[in-house]
């Protein structure tokens, strides 16, 4: 209990010199933010970067081709001469995720797509930088609409029509009649991708759960052969840190390639970034991460040195009172940790704010509760420990006589 009280009192005492405290907190916040971004790149929550590293996209060959028959969900099982057999919701050996992006035509003017709420950027025709306002939908009753969408309000009695452009938060319903409507609220507005320029229908995107709810018997009541495939994205498994994922991407792409061969091929050639083009970027990011951790080590060592310089008298008093060397270490370690942890929290909040301001608020909760936050915390805090150890001999060398040498 005595050691715990010493630890808590040292934390309170660490803020006595506010200028020094806040200066180093700001430095740790900057280093923490950089570390979070770099680990985020490796850990798989960096949106488009993850698709570039680990994604393989199979686009339905008939999509957008009015002369060809669209590929239905019932026909989209990934069967090939290589023995691959994957249905919607199944897994594939070597992959961490297989996502079927589906669509239905609601009349002749509206095309409704499904989005996976955790992987919306893996929809090959909708990238994060296509967002003009708001964020990707991540709940059942949210919807993403194109910025040029027009809604028509008809007056059946007088034969008048009113055209309106909806904004963020606008609510509307979808359904085959007035009694089975499905209520939605606009969470984001996007710029229509290049692939949709020739499509006269309006595009809207729902989460996978919302899409399933809309097409079930209580609403549109559509069968699998009435639901069509836009594309299938395969996310390779493995560890990006060691580069094993890159090899797995190439292997998976080679296994999926036969699906694009033959006269009746349902898919185009797999879209992916080869391993050879990713290694250089990975090595650069890895070196940047090591440099960031080294910077944390240098800053923590400098801060440890300043503590030994400005808190010599307090350490001398503790030693004169009979405190052990371990107790003195706790005094110094507690101040280093409170600065590192405070800086990390501020850096994490800054990254969250940046994500929100860059129109990706759907990812805010992902970073906080993902392994990225944990790995970044361990990297920042643990990299400050070696600096403390290096400076320990200096602080332990303070003698009780120092009480009388300082004013």
Q: What is the mean pLDDT of residues 55-71?
A: 82
The pTM of the full predicted model, rounded to 2 decimals, is: 0.68
In a shared domain, residues 79 and 192: yes
* pLDDT, averaged across the chain: 76
Give the pLDDT band (50/70/90) at residue 274. confident
Among 183, 201, 236, give the residue marking a domain's end. Answer: 236
The answer to whether residues 331 and 390 belong to one domain is yes
Provide the pLDDT confidence category of residue 80 given band limits of 50, 70 and 90: very low
Burial class of residue 187, CB neighbours in 10 A (0-12, 13-18, 19+): buried
Residue 186: C-alpha distances to residues 124, 170, 219 (Å): 21, 6, 20
310-334 average pLDDT score:
73
Confidence of residue 211 (pLDDT cuts 50, 70, 90): very high
Asked if the structure places residue 53 within a domain, the reply is no
d(CA 222, CA 216): 6
Which one-letter DSSP state was computed for residue 70? Answer: P
When comparing pLDDT for 369 and 312, which is higher? Answer: 312
Which whole number is the average pLDDT over 282-288?
71
Long-range contacts (CB closer than 8 Å, 24 or more residues apart) made by 145-149: 145/186, 145/188, 145/189, 145/190, 145/202, 145/203, 145/204, 145/205, 146/189, 146/190, 146/191, 146/192, 146/196, 146/202, 146/203, 146/204, 147/189, 147/190, 147/191, 147/192, 148/192, 148/202, 149/202, 149/204
Q: Pick the closest to residue 5 from 335, 338, 330, 381 (CA basis).
A: 330
The predicted pLDDT at position 365 comes to: 47
Evaluate if residue 122 carries a pLDDT over 70.
yes
Q: Are residues 13 and 91 in the same domain?
A: no
Give yes or no: residues 11 and 129 share one domain: no
Residue 402 has pLDDT above 50, yes or no: yes
- Examine the pLDDT at 282 and tell me if it is beyond 90: no
b or e along 313-333 (b: 16 or more beta carbons within 10 Å of the residue's beta carbon)? ebbbebbeeebeeebbebbbb
Q: Is the pLDDT of residue 209 over 50?
A: yes
Average confidence (pLDDT) over 15-27: 77
Q: Is residue 254 part of a domain?
A: no
Among 61-75, 246-260, 389-403, the range scoring the smallest mean pLDDT is: 389-403
Among 205, 236, 267, give the residue marking a domain's end: 236
Same domain as 297, residue 205:
no
Determine the pLDDT at residue 316. Answer: 74
Residues 288 and 201 in one domain: no
Quick check: is 390 in a domain? yes
Distance, in Å, from the CA atom of 278 to the CA atom of 289, rounded to the nearest integer, reads 16
Residue 81's pLDDT band, with cuts at 50, 70 and 90, is: very low
Pair 373, 348: CB distance under 8 Å: yes
Cβ atoms 206, 137 nearer than 8 A: yes
Residue 61 · residue 265 · CB < 8 Å: yes
Same domain assignment for residues 316 and 358: yes
Q: What is the pLDDT of residue 103?
A: 93
End-to-end CA distance of the chain: 32
Q: Flag whether 38 is in a domain.
A: yes
Same domain, 65 and 33: no
Higher pLDDT, 94 or 232: 232
Indicate whether 325 belongs to any domain. Answer: yes
Confidence of residue 3 (pLDDT cuts 50, 70, 90): low
- DSSP line for 182-227: EEEEEEEEEPPPGGGTT--SEEEEEEHHHHHHHHSTTTT---GGGS
User: How many separate domains does the chain show?
Assistant: 2
Same domain for 15 and 68, yes or no, is no
Six token digits for residue 319: 């030693």
| pLDDT at residue 258 greater than cutoff 70 | yes
Long-range contacts of 252-257 (CB under 8 A, 24+ apart): 252/56, 252/92, 252/94, 252/95, 253/56, 255/82, 255/84, 255/94, 256/56, 256/58, 256/78, 256/80, 256/84
pLDDT for 354-369, tens place per residue? 766 665 544 444 566 6
pLDDT at res. 283? 73
Classify 178 as helix, strand or coil: coil
pLDDT, residue 361, reads 47
208 in the same domain as 76:
yes
68 in any annotated domain: yes
Task: Write the pLDDT tens digit of every residue in 288-306.
Answer: 677 767 777 777 677 767 7
Q: What is the mean pLDDT of residues 124-151?
A: 81
- Greater confidence, 169 or 320? 169
| Domain shared by 79 and 129, yes or no | yes
> Residue 227 belongs to what domain range?
61-236
**Other residues' Cβ atoms within 10 Å of the Cβ of residue 293:** 19
Whether residue 67 is found in the same domain as residue 20: no
Q: Do the domain assignments include residue 143?
A: yes
Instruction: Give yes or no for a contact between 376 and 35, defined as CB atoms under 8 angstroms apart.
Output: yes
> pLDDT at position 82, please?
43
Residues 103-122 have a mean pLDDT of 85
Three-state DSSP at 33 gives helix
DSSP state letter for 259: G
Q: Report yes or no on 131 lying in a domain.
A: yes
């Amino acid at each position: 209990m005595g050691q715990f009280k010493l630890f808590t009192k040292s934390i309170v005492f660490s803020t006595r010199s506010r200028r020094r405290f806040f200066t180093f907190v700001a430095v740790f916040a900057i280093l923490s933010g950089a570390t979070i971004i770099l680990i985020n790149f490796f850990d798989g929550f960096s949106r488009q970067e993850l698709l570039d590293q680990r994604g393989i996209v199979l686009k339905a060959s008939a999509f957008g081709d009015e002369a060809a028959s669209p590929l239905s969900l019932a026909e989209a099982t990934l069967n090939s001469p290589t023995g691959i057999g994957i249905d919607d919701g199944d897994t594939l050996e070597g992959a961490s995720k297989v996502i079927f992006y589906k669509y239905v035509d609601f009349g002749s003017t509206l095309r409704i797509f499904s989005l996976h709420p955790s992987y919306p950027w893996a929809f090959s025709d909708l990238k994060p930088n296509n967002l003009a306002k708001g964020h990707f939908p991540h709940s059942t009753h949210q919807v993403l609409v194109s910025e040029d969408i027009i809604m028509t309000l008809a007056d059946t009695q007088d034969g008048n029509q009113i055209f309106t452009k909806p904004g963020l938060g606008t609510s509307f319903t979808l359904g085959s009649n007035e009694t089975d409507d499905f209520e939605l609220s606009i969470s984001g507005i996007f710029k229509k991708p290049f692939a949709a320029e020739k499509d006269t229908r309006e595009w809207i995107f729902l989460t996978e759960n919302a899409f399933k709810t809309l097409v079930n018997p209580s609403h549109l009541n559509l069968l699998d052969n009435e639901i069509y495939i836009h594309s299938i994205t395969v996310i390779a498994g493995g560890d990006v840190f060691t580069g094993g994922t890159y090899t797995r991407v190439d292997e998976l792409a080679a296994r999926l390639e036969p699906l694009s061969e033959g006269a009746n091929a349902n898919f185009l050639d797999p879209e992916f970034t080869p391993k050879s083009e990713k290694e250089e970027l990975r090595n650069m990011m890895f070196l940047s991460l090591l440099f960031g951790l080294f910077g944390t080590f240098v800053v923590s060592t400098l801060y440890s040195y300043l503590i030994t310089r400005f808190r010599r008298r307090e350490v001398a008093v503790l030693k004169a009172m009979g405190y052990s060397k371990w107790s003195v270490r706790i005094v110094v370690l507690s101040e280093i940790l409170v600065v590192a942890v405070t800086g990390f929290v501020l850096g994490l909040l800054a990254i969250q704010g940046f994500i929100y301001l860059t129109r990706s608020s759907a990812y805010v909760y992902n970073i906080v509760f993902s392994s990225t936050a944990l790995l970044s915390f361990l990297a920042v805090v643990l990299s400050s420990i070696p600096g403390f150890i290096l400076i320990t001999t200096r602080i332990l060398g303070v003698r009780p006589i120092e009480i009388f040498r300082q004013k």
